[in-house]
Structure 1
């Protein structure tokens, strides 16, 4: 582990690691978005789900009440998906999205956690 912390003292290694972290932050979500939007259209329930999502009023004035409204609307859509109102295809796709997003969050926490840990180790050494 000390070798990892020591490697981050080199600005080149640190820079490449940050580029990798940025790629980890962005590329999986871009790929997930493309996959989801291509796949959800293949069922009538998926198309209905996308129509509902597009038809939802979005309050974006920046207040807590607007955030609560938007969150409540999102929870309502999620409950309808889990209840099967949009069919098995949409429910299966959303289940994959939930698992993929959860794994993505964990991987980002690990990747950025290593960087934070190395910064703390190296700050004590300096």
Structure 2
């Protein structure tokens, strides 16, 4: 099974110069804990609710701060034609719960999360991923 078969394809994206308050509002409206950051149709970062709490609020930055000030710029991703088992093992090794999905032109086409794996019916991949992200740090 390919990642494109289980990923979430309707992805909300923020820009690096968007305000954190806008990003937080989008997260609340879409009930998500992370957003890809795009610029000129390219994936340039990733913003999580934890980034807002730990990198922004803990440093005294407010809602007017820009996404680029706290986003992660080292973005891990997978390809839409990657095998589900391969991506699950990669996510487990990276200890991440979600990954952006890009096509071979590196254009964002979706996000795959632990929840997508759980609903996929791929029990082995789901178990490997769960064990990887639930490992003690």
Q: What TM-score results when the alignment is normalised by the length of structure 1?
A: 0.26
As a proportion of its length, which structure holds more helix? 1
Higher-Rg structure is: 1
